[in-house]
Amino acid sequence: MGGRDQRMRAGVAPAAALADGVPDPSARGIAEHVTRLIRTGTIGDGVRLPTVRATAAALHVGPTTVATAWAILHERRLIRSEGRNGTFVRDLSDAPASRAAHRVPIELDLTSDSYDVDLIPDPTAYLARAAAGHPLHLPDAPVVDPDLEALARAAWPFEPASMAVAWSYPDALTQIVDLVASPADRVLVEQACSPETMAVLSTARVRPVHVASDHHGMLPDALAGALSTRAVLAVVQPRMADPLGHALTHQRARELAAVFSRHDAFVVEEDGSAALAEDPSVSVGGHLPHRCILVRGYHRGLGPQARIALVGGPSTIVERIRERQAVTGSFPPSLAQRALRMMAQDPAIGELLGVARARYTHRRRSIVDALRLRGVRAVGGRGLALWVRVGDADATTRRLARAGVLAHSGTALASPDYGRRHVRLAVAGLRDQHDAVAGLLAAA
């Protein structure tokens, strides 16, 4: 693809062709790329996708990353699985939203909140410095680079017994869910959770239970009631929550920890926008370190070459992740870790992140103000996504698609009654289209 009009109408989509032009090799980035190929007709109905392993090899990522991307596409009902026969693009000819997407090119993708390519640093110099003097002929091991671990521990909100590295937050969550949950087990999430979390839970075939939340996260009484259903895991977002935009306070963290302490469930904290966060790092793990696993990601601020996630928490979980990585080889190489550490320590990168933070804040406020002027309510004032109140989420996303705007229906991220009245908008891609998008939402 990559600018060529190479349309796949039958047979198997070659892995190399599918990988060509992927701007962000994270699970979310791969899913968004394939979504565009399907909705624009570049990959035709009934085409079989390449295997997970072949696609992972073509993209130079771990199989878990591709499997998570495929789960996102399943959630969007763009692909179907036929067991050993493979995974195929669905026949979308009868879907109104799909017909609209075929007629009108998607000009504004508000489903991906990873980053704006103009606001991320060039990693070339850091990768070159990381490679200088690095023993490239020696095999890597699934360990955290010592300097990166020291840097991370200094900023960790609690003392983790052990640390590991993963390719991304979805990669880390997939491994944690595999270790603590079985199909049909209950996993608690916020009233509306991130697309990455929902994609992983869907793939693992566990049962997400949404917990009522406010602008500080899960409500303690609601959490207590949900934990009584024998949930084995809870996923919380301590800051820049997607899509609700809440941030934990120290008081709320203490209250949640007190509730968790009366049950056996583990806690995963999704800190996926650490490099861009303005709020302090507050953690349930500060009160419950033996049950809390914090996963911290950096790619939204530093770009796809920094898609490493650091994992810190109890040895009972983190050491088992490292043992699995040693067997599968699915861990970020030390070269990438060194480059991440160098970027995180460079004052010039800090200045660039400050610019990105200010730009994203401006874009978020602009769309919120534009919506407010038209009588449309939105929450999410401290994150990279907005949760917008609408009459009918699915009808609204179809209307947006007819205008060339791609957005998430809330039904995929929240309970049916709550989700069907909301859509999720990523703000990273918004530049000067605030009034146009707000007008479309107000008219829906």
Q: What is the pLDDT of residue 265?
A: 96
Q: Provide the terminal-to-terminal Cα distance of the chain, rounded to the nearest Å.
A: 34
Instruction: Please give the CATH topology (third level) of the domain spanning 349-443.
Output: Aspartate Aminotransferase, domain 1 (3.90.1150)
What is the CATH class of 15-103? mainly alpha
Phi-psi region of 200 (alpha: psi -120 to 50; beta: other; left: phi over 0): alpha
Can you give the residue ranges of every domain in the chain? 15-103, 135-345, 349-443
Give residue 10's pLDDT band: very low, low, confident or very high (50, 70, 90): low
Q: What is the pLDDT of residue 414?
A: 92
Domains 15-103 and 349-443 alike in fold: no
Give residue 48's pLDDT band: very low, low, confident or very high (50, 70, 90): confident
Q: Could you give the percent of the chain with pLDDT greater than 90?
A: 48
Has residue 99 got a pLDDT over 70?
no
Residues of 317-352 as b/e, b for ≥16 C-beta within 10 angstroms? bbebbbebbeeeebbbbbebbbbbbbbbeeeebeeb
Dist. CA 3–CA 17, nearest whole Å: 11
Instruction: Please give the CATH topology (third level) of the domain spanning 135-345.
Output: Aspartate Aminotransferase; domain 2 (3.40.640)
Dist. CA 174–CA 432, nearest whole Å: 37
CB hemisphere CA count around 239 (13 angstroms): 19
The model's pLDDT over 316-338, given as tens digits with 9 standing for 90+, comes to 999 999 998 888 888 888 888 99
Give pTM, 2 decimals.
0.78
